[in-house]
Structure 1
Amino acid sequence: MTTRRLLSAAALVVVAATAVTGCAQSSTATAQDNAAGASADKTITVLISGDTNVQSLWEKSLVPAFEKANPGYSVKVTLDLHGEHDAQTLAKLTSATEQKKEPDFDLVDGGFVSKASAANLLTPVTTDTVPALKDVPQEVIQAGGTGGIPYRGSAVLLAYDTKTVPTPPKTLDDLLTWIKANPGKFTYNSPKSGGSGGAFVATVLDKYVPAADRAKMTVGYEKGLEGDWDAGFAALKELNPYVFQKGVYPNGNKQTLDLLASGQISMAPVWSDQFITGVANGQIASTVKAAQISNPSFTGGAAYLGIPKSTTRQDAALKLANFVLSPDAQSTIIKEMSGFPAISLDKLPADVKEKFKDADTNNLRKGYFDQMGKDLNSLWDQKVPGQ
């Protein structure tokens, strides 16, 4: 699976812009011209390469709060839904950088930030330019490259019903033992249908993959190393008689959550943000908790912001990025997105810290490189389902 989302949890859980011309899908500009006299260098364009929930977070919460706190600044937001035009966006950004021309956006929130950073298209950031980065775990910053600014995230967790599982497994080996000792009480969705199932599959495979090989498989396409997965796929095949419906797997994260919420199963891997949202809206009973496992943990990751090198609004974009890492903005992100905070829990209000009291929000393990993940999904289809 590929990483898409820095950190979220619940009593447990763990956790930019004018549309690229001819590419990005149009969206509403949220800037409220409350800065009537805003100068050009204080008008920031944010490109969202993602889903509408991310767009809503910016337009309804982050932008109004930033503009209120910084009179004279104005922010516009454009959405490229699901990042459908990421390839074109990167090509245009590359051209603008090489020609030292103004890009189409001043800050981007999207999955391609790390790739753009590696291509030297983004402004390198440090605690001198974005002071709030001092409160972000160093390893999370490094994962985004020199130009990536982590600002939220999520992880896959192990959800369990305390009515039938008073003490959940702590490690992957413990979990595999529990599954075989409790037939029909655990399941996961097929990896190509959702990241929670994909995280479980990848974690079982990782049990048998040498660390040096896995490191290569998270940053590039290493088809020659896929033989490392054979033992893991065999272990997953062995689980078929013990999972719910014996080798027939749910289609998507939601189906897995529904089985857990209805009591048909007692345990499953779930996305932290979806779990927290389900508990909050009552779809998941309060008796259902979630926690991280170890050796190895399930995968997760951060969402990153990036600032194009060639924008002339560097200072304004850096100011906005720093604001997004403020305790107030981070609290808003947790509330609106059920996401992990990027900054240390020590910087957040007591009620927020309480949500994450049983979580290790810094413990996010990166998933496989995109093409590696696609191969993983295909191989799972071939090797695992069925009796």
Structure 2
Amino acid sequence: MKMKRLGSILLAGAMMAATLAGCGGGGSGDNTTADGKSTVTLWATGSDNVRAIFETLVEDFNTNSEYADQYQVELQFMLSGTGAQTLADSVAAAIKAGQTDTDYDIVDWSGDDLSKIVSQVGEDAFVKLDRSKIPNAASVEAESSVAADYVQPYRGTTVILAYDSEKVPNPPTTWEELEQWMKDNPGRFAYNTPGTGGAGDSFARTAVYNFLPEEAMTSDDPKWEEQWDEGFNYLKDLHQYMYSSGGSIVYPNKNQGTLDLLNQGEIDMCANWADMVLSQRAQGAIKDTIQIAQLDPALTGSLQTLAIPTIGSNEEGAYAFMNYMLSPEAQQIMVTEMAAIPLIDTSEMDMTGYEDLAGLDVSNFRIMSIGDLATDFNARWDSEIGSIG
């Protein structure tokens, strides 16, 4: 217990130091390494697997890329869920305080965090991108639905249908087909309880928001909450066809809960993250027969993007790293290490074991960011769906 407490104190101290470093007016000082390279500070947040992939990418950039003799990237990573202040909060605070020449040189944003930071400080807090400085982006078709001129997408992630191909040779491709499949195969589908994992969140919210205008998916206006009835009635209708155990309908906890049921043969299909399914399949943690399919309209996902804050101190170095992230080498690392969905032409990449990724249409990704409405949504789901039994 004492060691745990000490670890928590050290982690909190490290995060505070990192935040103060980013917000300090002097940024990273000289910005030059001992061997004359220009320092570029990359800020990112997420789970531990995201930290690990960024460490690998930074090492490759610093030692093997075409920019290795000119720039050195240093990673500042904020582990999600370990503190009250998020990366978006930290960057927004520095911008609102009028800081300049900080070490916020380039920042990695998920869809939700990007929406949050833009709502706080506006897109003009970032450099409007000069696409001529990102030649590797030429084959990228995916475009952010938020601040498109100011951010560069570099990888995708999305919730899909995971299914056992031995039992489901022709998976549904539309919501109508999925509904009919559930009716024909009662008890063989599952999605996790919303609030315990993003896949369940995505399935429930997409099912409801399919009945609303597209603009509602990226809005926290309470007016949309008044229009949830039709979607919740749809979820109630589907309830009877969900996975059951001991005579009662069961919604598993966490994304892993549904994937475990699929791997054990308790169900034949579930909603899950594409990268989670494919990375576990590549590791041999789940059966080779488990494959993925995309619905139309698609379940929600995210485009990870990079942006260059105007308060940074190394714009050219930031462009260099941004361009590197869209190189075949960097995209290959992300595919192999985390089953990320590549955004460039994959003809120059080895997709062995990840062929499913090539079939995902990133231009069809749907991002959901509903702010505080998410709390009300989960509460209503618990009350009206999870309590049915």
Q: TM-score range by the shorter chain?
A: 0.7 to 0.9
**Residue of structure 1 in register with 2:234 after alignment:** 235
Equivalence map 1:11-90=2 (5 Å): 19-21=18-20, 36-39=34-37, 42-69=38-65, 70-82=68-80, 84=83, 85-86=85-86, 88-90=89-91
Q: 1:23 to 1:191 in 2, by over 3 A?
A: farther
1:134 deviates by 2.1
Q: 1:314 to 1:337 in 2, by over 3 A?
A: same
Residues of 2 paired with 1:277 and 1:200: CA distance?
A: 21
1:106 deviates by 1.0
Secondary structure of 1:234's partner? helix
The aligned amino acid for 1:250 is P
> For the Cα contact (< 8 Å) 2:58–2:73, is it kept in 1?
no
> For the Cα contact (< 8 Å) 1:158–1:267, is it kept in 2?
yes
**Residue of structure 1 in register with 2:7 after alignment:** none
Match of 1:128 among 125, 132, 142: 132
The percent of aligned pairs where both chains have the same amino acid is 31
> For the Cα contact (< 8 Å) 1:114–1:147, is it kept in 2?
no
User: Is 1:191–2:194 an aligned residue pair?
Assistant: yes
Residues of 2 paired with 1:333 and 1:327: CA distance?
A: 10
Unaligned runs of 5+ in 2: 1-15, 24-31
Question: Which stretch shows the higher mean deviation, 154-163 or 127-136?
Answer: 127-136
Q: 1:107 to 1:175 in 2, by over 3 A?
A: same
Q: Deviations over 1:14-47 (max 9, x none)?
A: xxx98221799xxxxxxxx9x64224xx101111
- RMSD, aligned α-carbons: 2.5
Unaligned runs of 5+ in 1: 1-16, 25-32
Secondary structure of 1:356's partner? helix
Match of 1:252 among 247, 251, 254: 254
Equivalence map 1:329-344=2 (5 Å): 329-344=330-345
The aligned amino acid for 1:158 is L
Secondary structure of 1:104's partner? coil
Secondary structure of 2:133's partner? coil
The aligned amino acid for 1:307 is I
1:259 deviates by 0.3
1:234 deviates by 1.1
**Residue of structure 1 in register with 2:383 after alignment:** 382
1:340 deviates by 0.5
> For the Cα contact (< 8 Å) 1:292–1:298, is it kept in 2?
yes
**Residue of structure 2 in register with 1:3 after alignment:** none
Q: 1:352 to 1:263 in 2, by over 3 A?
A: closer
> For the Cα contact (< 8 Å) 2:278–2:354, is it kept in 1?
no
Residues of 2 paired with 1:50 and 1:144: CA distance?
A: 21
Residues of 2 paired with 1:23 and 1:357: CA distance?
A: 37
Q: 1:45 to 1:94 in 2, by over 3 A?
A: same
> For the Cα contact (< 8 Å) 2:207–2:231, is it kept in 1?
yes
Match of 2:284 among 282, 289, 307: 282
1:252 deviates by 0.7
Flag the structure with more relative contact order, 1 or 2, with Cα contacts below 8 A and sequence separation at least 6: 1
Secondary structure of 2:161's partner? strand
1:206 deviates by 2.6
Equivalence map 1:195-206=2 (5 Å): 195-206=198-209
**Residue of structure 2 in register with 1:12 after alignment:** none
Q: 1:59 to 1:357 in 2, by over 3 A?
A: closer
Matched residues, number: 352
1:144 deviates by 4.5
The aligned amino acid for 1:188 is Y
1:151 deviates by 1.2
Question: Which stretch shows the higher mean deviation, 259-268 or 199-208?
Answer: 199-208
> For the Cα contact (< 8 Å) 1:153–1:303, is it kept in 2?
yes
**Residue of structure 2 in register with 1:10 after alignment:** none
Residues of 2 paired with 1:165 and 1:350: CA distance?
A: 24
Equivalence map 1:272-351=2 (5 Å): 272-294=274-296, 296-346=297-347, 348-349=349-350, 351=352
Q: Deviations over 1:233-279 (max 9, x none)?
A: 11111222221124321011000100000000011111001100121
Q: TM-score, normalised by structure 1?
A: 0.83
Q: Deviations over 1:93-113 (max 9, x none)?
A: 3136x35x1123211123334
1:90 deviates by 2.7
